[in-house]
Amino acid sequence: FLAFLDAHEIRRSDLLGSDAHAPPLEQRYFRVKKHKNVENDDAEKVIACVAQSLGTPPTPVPWLPRFYALPAASPLARVDAYRAGEIYGIDISSGFAVSLLDVRPGDHVLDLCCAPGAKLTMIADLLQLRGSVTGVDVSRQRLSACKQLVHKYQLLQASTPLSSSSSSSSPSQAASVRAVSDGHPPPQQPSRPAPPQWRCRLFHADGRSFAVGPRTESDRHERVETVLDTEEIAARGTRGLQRKRANKSARAREARKQRKLAPEISSSSSGAADIGQAAVAATASEGADDDDQYDKVLVDAECTHDGSVRHLQKNDSLAKWTHYVESHLSAREVERILRLQHDLIRSGFRILRDGGVLVYSTCSLSVKQNEEIVAAFLKEQPRAELEPIERDGIPCEEGRLPGTIRFTPARNASGLFIAKIRKRAALLLV
């Protein structure tokens, strides 16, 4: 492990703090959910409930709204507000990464490595059930946890059409009014369902080749399995959905036949998929339609977890440490992870709209997995612009690449590297 730290330029003081014999004081964090369309959402009452249940008042985080800190040993799962879906646990560093997306209601946001779902829950909370959030993960098992959060925190509602609040008449409506005034029956207009105000989707897929836009149906793409789609849930029970599912089942059967002829998805020991570079390249070349891309993309990439004290503390025996080093830090595994990170940041950028923002993060403190990945991407992608992250009042430090930041366990936060990248518009040749 120490050899890995040296090879990846990880300072031991970032993990241990100034006292090399004692880890930094740990805290756990949670966020208070903001209720849709409610100005006074009783956040103070929720905090009072938490304090009464635990006998300890939560401490507000001054630099991140609606976040609170508790001692690490606090049993949050026993709190009524937690069971009722009023609060949710999330690392403070992960919460800050989500905040850098600057999510606004109506945005279309992609969480490319979404499981187990805390960041996706926060994204949906910031969207206030207006727009869409799409979560993708290669692990079906971890997606199950994500799906549970979607139900627990009531992210299924708000199927009200976007146009329902509009008071203006469409051209067809105006024609009908004129026809009636002339004594003629109004023309029959085909009914078209208005687009939903809110959509939440979860996909089991490889993030390196994911190309389903916010307005694209997944059945147009192979190697994408829909785990949850609020639009389908809202339409359950109708004949149209039954026909759609019958057609979708037929397409799925055909897709399964085709997949038998293609390279199978194989999983590594850490659960990440490897569908073959040829398949990734083929899908990447397709991309998404220019008018069907995401406003914001979060790429919280798989890594070696060396910056996460919570992960490291699980290795409480020599046997567990040996297994961790052999399964996560071997030269072969690190090389696989570096290739994966290289592909994920490019995949997320490919499906990002012009002017949109991508946030890349890992819970590793490795320079190779962070600064070098971002620097190589910026060098090869002229439309990618690194936006410096403001650090005033934030308990973090600047990364080895200027403009990026690092949270470290030594500063009472889970280790996390973050880079914020904006996509410049393509130059038009006249």
CATH of the domain at 229: 3.40.50.150
CA distance 270 to 336: 11
Considering just the CA atoms, what is the radius of gyration of the chain in Å? 24
Query: What are the angstrom distances between the C-alpha of 429 and each of 203, 289, 346, 426?
Result: 37, 20, 24, 9
In this structure, of 101-115, 128-142, 218-232, the range with the lowest mean pLDDT score is 218-232
Res 174 pLDDT > 80: no
The answer to the question of residue 189 being in a domain is no
Residue 44 lies in a domain: no
Choice between 85 and 322, residue whose per-residue pLDDT is larger = 85
Least confident of 231-235, 236-240, 421-425: 236-240
Phi, psi (deg, nearest 5) at residue 295: -75, -35
- The answer to whether the beta carbons of residues 198 and 157 sit under 8 Å apart is yes
At 185 the pLDDT is: 53
How far, in Å, CA of 115 to CA of 137, rounded? 6
- Taking the model in full, what pTM does it have? 0.78
In a domain, 76, yes or no: no
Question: What is the pLDDT confidence band of residue 311, given thresholds at 50, 70 and 90?
Answer: low
- How far is the C-alpha of 365 from the C-alpha of 15, rounded, in Å? 9
As for how many domains the chain has, the answer is: 1
Strand partners, 384: 423
Which domain range does residue 364 map to?
Answer: 2-24+92-160+194-235+263-423
Exposed, middle or buried, 178 (CB in 10 Å: 0-12/13-18/19+)?
Answer: exposed
Q: Is the pLDDT of residue 141 over 90?
A: yes
**324: pLDDT strictly greater than 90:** no
Domain annotation covers residue 149: yes
Residue 369 lies in a domain: yes
Please check whether residue 255 lies inside any domain of the structure: no
Has residue 316 been placed in a domain? yes
- Token representation of residue 56: 């300890």
In a domain, 376, yes or no: yes
The Cα–Cα gap between 181 and 235 comes to 36
Span 266-279, average pLDDT = 42
Confidence of residue 123 (pLDDT cuts 50, 70, 90): very high
Q: What percent of the chain is modeled with pLDDT above 90? A: 53
CB 317, CB 377: distance < 8 Å: no
Tell me, what's the pLDDT at 409? 80
